[in-house]
């Protein structure tokens, strides 16, 4: 039996039905990684010995009949900003190169409780800052659909590995689109939950008020199953909340007739690739055929989302990243230096250009003379965008819009155009500003042969509903089952 391109749920089922063992599944996946990594560079760390040991332990528990999780036995890889105490956690930064955390993230505990096997860490933009995975200090990841193109970012390693079949599923983090945009560019499914649904304990902080950990997988059902495994209130993250008791997985299959879906006029206007808008409109027609009510709506404040996001995100980043001082942990500049010079040199040498740009911008918008003009105004815009969404939920259940304005750009073009790169986040950042759940799923291909993703955004805590609509769409279409030819595991 071949593991390649199996969904995580199907693999776990096959293991439970004894069609293959946990160890056999893991070995086949590892052979796939060996075949693809030369072209992709999706992974930053692998630990085959530890994974084999964990696989044996899970197998024993399964043989004794002691496992309940629908994902038991499934290997999973996680983005390298999620702390693991057996694999280095570098955030793709020189600042944390070689850092082995003395503790692990709550989501890692939860994956283990659900008998998944963590077999590797995935490449990303440095400290999750970027939209292409090109700011990784270890080098970019390539898009498996065309290795001359970026996979998107910042969870580019996760999306590329799942698309190529060199990971069955993965966890990423999404501060302003970092799960959804790379999933969209790589033709896979990704989900950013309602803020607070998943514990951020052990996620290396970038912009704490915006970010959530979430799944990247082949389809919506795998995302729902992973969400069920990782969500829940955690005493170690005071922003985490109690979410619905009913498994998201059991909401799949619900009737979607009568679901009211709005397409914001602003989303399909302006600078957007015609390929992307036509894929979104095709998806809208398909949803209508399934009984959904699709109508246009207005979201005039959308044009302010990127500006508000980059002010708030950089302000929080400047504060969060002040802990890297060359003293407590992380990179330290060589030599016997006076204290201030040690700080300055360690940070100058340890951080890459994009991270430094954001720290400077963040300190600027928080400085006494500019706080009101930038930071306070951005917070006001955030509140107004949140209110704008809330007003829409009176007449709509969810929004449909693109995940990104174009398909994946070629390698090497985005970093020279920082503002252009920031503005390509315009469809993803509104959900982070308002803390809303958002799903991205493949809905077609551009004329360049690259995948196009569509996004469903719903009211806070309507995660199960969005997943149910995405699932229904995937039951009727096959975009999510397409595989890249160029790089296959
Ligand atoms: N591209 C956005 C940024 O660079 C989003 C990153 C993220 O979600 N981590 O900030």
Angle between helices 22-40 and 48-63 (to 10 degrees): 150
Grade residue 1 by pLDDT with cuts at 50, 70 and 90: low
Instruction: Give the separation between CA 206 and CA 157, rounded to whole angstroms.
Output: 18
Mean pLDDT in residue range 275-298: 98
Nearest CA to ligand 1 atom 5: 176
Ligand 1: which of 151, 177, 404 to mutate, most ligand atoms within 8 Å of CB? 177
Per residue in 99-144, pLDDT (tens digit) is 999 999 999 999 999 999 999 999 999 999 999 999 999 999 999 9
Centroid of ligand 1 to alpha carbon of 177 (angstroms) = 6
For residue 488, pLDDT beyond 80: no
Atom of ligand 1 nearest to the CA of 129: 4
Quote the pLDDT of residue 304: 97
Supply the pTM of this predicted model: 0.97
Residue 338's contacts (CB-CB under 8 Å, 6 or more residues apart) are none
Grade residue 264 by pLDDT with cuts at 50, 70 and 90: very high
Residues acting as catalytic residues: 79, 154, 178
For residue 309, pLDDT beyond 90: yes
For residue 374, pLDDT beyond 70: yes
Which residues does a 6 A CB cutoff place in the pocket of ligand 1? 128-131, 154, 174-178, 206, 313, 425
Nearest CA to ligand 1 atom 2: 176
Per residue in 404-413, pLDDT (tens digit) is 999 999 999 9
For residue 52, pLDDT beyond 70: yes
Quote the pLDDT of residue 245: 84
Atom of ligand 1 nearest to the CA of 313: 10
Atom of ligand 1 nearest to the CA of 177: 8
Q: For the chain, what is the largest distance between any 2 Cα atoms, rounded to a whole number of angstroms?
A: 70
Per residue in 158-205, pLDDT (tens digit) is 999 999 999 999 999 999 999 999 999 999 999 999 999 999 999 999
Quote the pLDDT of residue 228: 98
β-bridge pairing 260-264 and 398-402? parallel
**Domains (range + CATH), the chain:** 3-262+395-481 (3.90.1300.10)
For residue 91, pLDDT beyond 60: yes
Instruction: Give the separation between CA 74 and CA 7, rounded to whole angstroms.
Output: 10
421: nearest Cα among 93, 92, 154: 154
Ligand 1: which of 80, 124, 154 to mutate, most ligand atoms within 8 Å of CB? 154
Q: What mean pLDDT is reported for the chain?
A: 96
407: nearest Cα among 247, 245, 184: 184
Centroid of ligand 1 to alpha carbon of 383 (angstroms) = 20
Mean pLDDT in residue range 246-269: 96
Q: How far is CA 61 from CA 16, 64, 145, in A?
A: 11, 5, 38
């Amino acid at each position: 039996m071949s593991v390649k391109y199996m969904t995580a749920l199907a693999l776990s089922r096959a293991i439970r039905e004894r069609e293959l063992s946990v160890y056999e599944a893991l070995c086949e996946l590892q052979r796939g990684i060996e075949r693809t990594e030369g072209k992709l560079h999706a992974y930053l760390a692998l630990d085959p010995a530890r994974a084999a040991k964990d696989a044996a332990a899970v197998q024993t528990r399964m043989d004794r009949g002691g496992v309940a999780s629908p994902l038991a036995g499934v290997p999973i890889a996680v983005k390298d900003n999620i702390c693991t105490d057996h694999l280095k956690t570098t955030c793709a930064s020189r600042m944390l190169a070689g850092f082995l955390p003395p503790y692990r993230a709550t989501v890692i505990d939860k994956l283990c409780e659900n008998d998944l096997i963590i077999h590797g860490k995935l490449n990303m933009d440095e400290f999750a800052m970027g939209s292409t995975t090109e700011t990784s200090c270890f080098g970019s990841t390539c898009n498996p659909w065309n290795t001359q193109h970026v996979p998107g970012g910042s969870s580019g390693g996760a999306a590329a590995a799942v698309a190529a079949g060199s990971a069955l599923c993965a966890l990423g983090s999404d501060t302003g689109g970092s799960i959804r945009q790379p999933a969209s560019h790589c033709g896979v499914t990704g989900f950013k939950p309602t803020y607070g649904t998943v514990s951020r304990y052990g996620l290396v902080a970038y912009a704490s008020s915006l970010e959530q950990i979430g799944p990247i997988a082949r389809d919506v059902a795998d995302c729902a199953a992973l969400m069920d495994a990782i969500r829940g209130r955690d005493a170690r993250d005071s922003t985490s909340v109690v979410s619905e008791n009913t498994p998201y997985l059991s909401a799949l299959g619900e009737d979607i007739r009568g679901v009211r879906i709005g397409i914001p006029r602003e989303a399909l206007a302006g600078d957007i690739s015609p390929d992307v808008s036509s894929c979104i409109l095709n998806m809208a027609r398909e949803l209508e055929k399934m009984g959904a009510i699709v109508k246009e709506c207005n979201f005039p404040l959308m044009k302010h989302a990127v500006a508000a996001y980059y002010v708030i995100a950089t302000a929080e980043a400047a504060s969060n990243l002040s802990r890297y001082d060359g003293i407590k942990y992380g990179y330290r500049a060589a030599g016997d230096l006076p204290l201030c010079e040690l700080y300055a040199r360690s940070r100058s040498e340890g951080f890459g250009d994009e991270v430094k740009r954001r720290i400077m911008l963040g300190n600027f918008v928080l400085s006494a003379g500019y706080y009101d003009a930038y930071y306070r105004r951005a917070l006001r815009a955030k509140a107004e965008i949140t209110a704008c969404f809330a007003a829409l939920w009176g007449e709509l259940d969810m929004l449909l819009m693109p995940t990104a304005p174009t398909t994946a750009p070629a390698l090497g073009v985005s970093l020279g155009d920082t503002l252009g790169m920031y503005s390509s986040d315009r469809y993803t950042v509104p959900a982070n500003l308002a803390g809303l759940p958002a799903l991205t799923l493949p809905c077609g291909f551009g004329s360049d042969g690259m995948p196009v993703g569509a996004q469903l955004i719903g009211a806070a805590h309507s995660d199960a509903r969005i997943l149910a609509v995405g699932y229904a769409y995937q039951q009727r279409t096959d975009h999510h089952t397409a595989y890249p030819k160029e790089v296959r595991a």
